Structure 1
Amino acid sequence: MIVSESDIELSIVMPCLNEAETLAVCIAKARSFLARSGVVGEVVIADNGSTDGSQAIAEREGARVVHVPVRGYGAALQAGIAGARGRYVIMGDADDSYDFSKLDAFVEKLRGGHDLVMGNRFRGGIAPGAMPFLHRYLGNPVLTTIGRVFFGSPARDFHCGLRGFRREAILALDLRTTGMEYASEMVVKASLSELRVTEVPTTLSPDGRSRPPHLRTWRDGWRHLRFLLLYSPRFLFFYPGATLLLVSTAVFAWLLPGPVVFRGFGLDVHTLLFASAGIQLGLLSMYFWWFARTFASSAGLLPDSARASRLQRLFTLERGLIVGGAVFGVGLWLAAEAVFSWKAKNFGGLDYQITLRVVIPAVTAMVSGTLIALGSFLVSLLTLGRR
């Protein structure tokens, strides 16, 4: 029976790099699901340059092969999804760790209107030896928690490799990473774009390969963590910067009038100097949030932020220059006061406990004013129209 492309409802996509040992059984399970469920579908193998004959095995088992010259898990999946013909896609590894013969729950959720359906291995069951100890009790819980807190994702198994989605919805996210972090990017952008995301229980079995897996615990764990941090400028820059700025400003104001004894510790101009550095670093970190958010929005890496847009309208280049110039002017005035005080001493020795309480605020204001002015120029540059 010949099926036209318009009739295909589901594409089951498997990335493949030298999976000759397990590929045939994975394809057989996927085809048995399609036959049993009556779902009109296809099996697509996104081959990443296999040298063990995986392509011939796939074609012999009735799958369609998409050749992907660019190496990487994400690159293979991007090409496989782009080449899929179904309205829905279910993706999963070709190592026989996921059971492609039991995809009913995924299809049911997709037909019910969900855009992304994640498998949850912790709810469905993890067979002994299927997941390394560090992955199960450290990597997955930590990265899942970060994903839920940073991006409001409902997923409780952030890195399950078996997931289904509406093809057009995922293509519209413009996913760009080519490595293992592709799995994180999909969930992050789906959550930020407010797609309908849900989970279904799925099982995980030990993979059927005799060779080690492509996944490298520390390397790929760091790549996922790095991606989550880079895609959340608020948690990477804004919140730490705002906290540092507020705390440092409070300490600065507390110590500016004179030395303070706190629980037996004498705090003086040395602590005041550290508070000054904290103010400047906090301000710089908050500007980094603004730079990163502006660039990410203009480059299409993240959806537009209402908060950043309001800030941009309120704090224009001209206003930034005025505020920065005023703050710098205060610092310059304080610096002049310090010089005049020094002159009154015939440029001789000074009482540093007194003098530094003028010099440190002067330097703080001058540096902060310069940061505000230069930062305003950079934000304006980032918001210029692009061809």
Structure 2
Amino acid sequence: MGIDELELTILMPCLNEAETLATCIVKARSYLDRSGIAGEIVIADNGSTDGSQQIAQHLGARVIPVSERGYGAAIAGGVDAARGRYVIMADADDSYDFANLDAFIAQLRGGADLVMGNRFKGGIAPGAMPWHHRYIGNPILSAVGRRFFRTPIGDFHCGLRGFSRAAFLGLNLRTTGMEFASEMVVKATLAHLDLREVPTTLAKDGRSRPPHLRSFRDGWRHLRFLLLFSPRWLFLYPGITLLAVGLVVGALLLPGPLTIGRVSFDIHTFLVAALCIIVGLQSISFAIIGRRFASRYGFIPRSGHYDKLLEALTLERILLASIALMLLGIGALVWGLGEWAARDYGDLNPSTTMRPVILALTALVSGFQMMMSGFMSSMINIPIYERRIADTPKAD
């Protein structure tokens, strides 16, 4: 059988799974025999020291050593070495049933690029998943992923998943840890690939040692990844909210104190509104810079709508807006100094005279930070060409 004739690679990342690896390989082999699919079993070994490699080789699996540590690194190394058109992957802890992969193959043959298992639809055996994973961690992270990226996947972190090897390689996945699971779903969604779900069961794993997963550490890594890959939710929407609150409250309090019922709002609230404007503008700037960086360097796919907006925000236009804001601030500051001079530089009424000073400083700071953000954003657009000194011919 030639390399090009393989349809399926069953991939298992492995780090010291001697207790359960043989069971998983036997089940995977039984599936290939029963289905008649031309396939292989690949063990992506991440540095096992318990004899897992020898067990896999004895049972006819192909072992691929992956020196870079991490779940994502092991998967990526295994996929690179895979010979199958399709890859179905799952942990080698006997929590997923490698003997029943028919639903995944059917969806892949039907044109799906990524097929995710859904444990909540298929069934979770007693003791198979800690309660805080089942009712807090997985539901919250999956809900965040669906909200941020509008993906149809309901179980972001199911370890049993199948995909087209060509589609996987086209995603340019970069993370090496547990967040790799989220990156695969997010990038597949952003790339508009065909994502589907099938119910799958989760059994209690057969290991006597604790799992490699660390609940809070790895949960935070997943959440951090989702936030960093969505500048809109991390920076843009909070920034717009703060800016809008600051502008509305500031406009209401600019003429003077405001009383609603028995509550009075004066200079202190006006100062808070000014801070909201400054932080809001900075957050929006971060959103623009983050989006430009992520799309330019391939972390997330390019977007026509965002690209048009970013192209309109040239450095020159940002500088003009920044200068206008700073001139407004200087004008307000001069007016405030004039008011102080008119009183022989004596005591002033804070409620009256601090308003133009706060307005002036808000405009100056906002203009300055917009200017710096504009330069930072423009730096990302500078073409980078790598010059290989070693390849340069040496003079005789």
TM-score range, shorter chain: over 0.9
Contact 2:45 2:74 in 1 (8 A): yes
Deviations 1:190-221 (Å, cap 9, x if unpaired)? 00101000000110000001111100111111
Identity %: 58
Q: What's the Cα RMSD here?
A: 0.8
Quick check: 1:170 aligned with 2:163?
no
Runs of 4+ in structure 1 off by over 3 angstroms are none
Q: What's the CA shift string for 1:339-375, capped at 9, x where partnerless?
A: 1111111111111111011111111111111122221
Counterpart for residue 136 of structure 2: 138
Please give the TM-score of this superposition, normalised by the length of structure 1: 0.98
Q: State the match for 1:63 in structure 2.
A: 61
1:357-372 residue pairs with structure 2 within 5 A?
357-372=355-370
3-state SS in 1 of match to 2:117: strand
Mapped partners of 1:248, 1:95: distance in 2: 53
Unmatched segments (≥5 aa) in structure 2: 386-396
CA contact (8 A) 2:117 2:155 kept: yes
Letter in 2 for 1:176: R
Amino acid corresponding to residue 246 of structure 1 in structure 2: A
1:381 matched to which residue of 2? 379
CA distance in 2, matches of 1:262, 1:215: 53
Mapped partners of 2:217, 2:371: distance in 1: 39
2:302 is aligned with what amino acid? D
Deviation of 1:298 (Å): 1.5
Equivalent residues in 2 for 1:12-91, closer than 5 Å: 12-91=10-89
Secondary structure of 1:309's partner? Answer: helix
The alpha-carbon deviation at position 307 of structure 1 amounts to 3.4
Q: 1:235 aligns with which of 233, 236, 240?
A: 233
* Alpha-carbon distance in 1 for matches of 2:111, 2:200: 20
**TM-superposed deviation, 1:170:** 0.8
Aligned ranges for residues 114-133 of structure 1 at < 5 Å?
114-133=112-131
Q: Which amino acid aligns with 2:80?
A: A
Q: Which residue, 279, 285, 288 being the options, matches 1:287?
A: 285
Report the Cα distance in structure 2 between the residues aligned to 1:32 and 1:116, rounded to whole angstroms: 23
- In 2, Cα distance between equivalents of 1:263 and 1:132: 51
In the TM superposition, 1:147-226 aligns within 5 A as 147-226=145-224
What is the Cα deviation at residue 181 of structure 1?
A: 0.5
Q: Matched residues in 2 for 1:206 and 1:331: separation? A: 65
Give 1:263 deviation, angstroms.
3.3
Query: Equivalents in 2 of 1:37, 1:319: separation in Å?
Result: 63
Tell me the TM-score normalised to structure 2 length.
Answer: 0.96
Distance 1:63 1:228 in 2: 35
Gaps of 5+ in 1: none
Is this contact kept in 1: 2:292–2:310, CA < 8 A? no
The count of aligned residue pairs is: 385
Q: Which amino acid aligns with 2:56?
A: A
Task: Give the superposition deviation at 1:310.
Answer: 1.6
Partner SS state of residue 88, structure 2: strand
Please tell me whether the aligned partners of residues 46 and 80 of structure 1 are also in contact (alpha carbons under 8 angstroms). yes
- Please point out which of 107, 110, 130 is paired with 1:109: 107
Deviation at 1:376, TM superposition (A): 1.2
In 1, Cα distance between equivalents of 2:85 and 2:261: 67
- CA distance in 1: counterparts of 2:313 and 2:212, whole angstroms: 48
How do residues 230-309 of structure 1 correspond to structure 2 at under 5 angstroms? 230-309=228-307
Q: Deviations over 1:282-308 (max 9, x none)?
A: 000000001111111121111113333
Separation (CA, whole Å) in 2 of partners of 1:81 and 1:126: 28
| Matched-pair contact (CA < 8 Å) for 1:290–1:308 | no
Q: Which residue of 2 aligns with 1:352?
A: 350
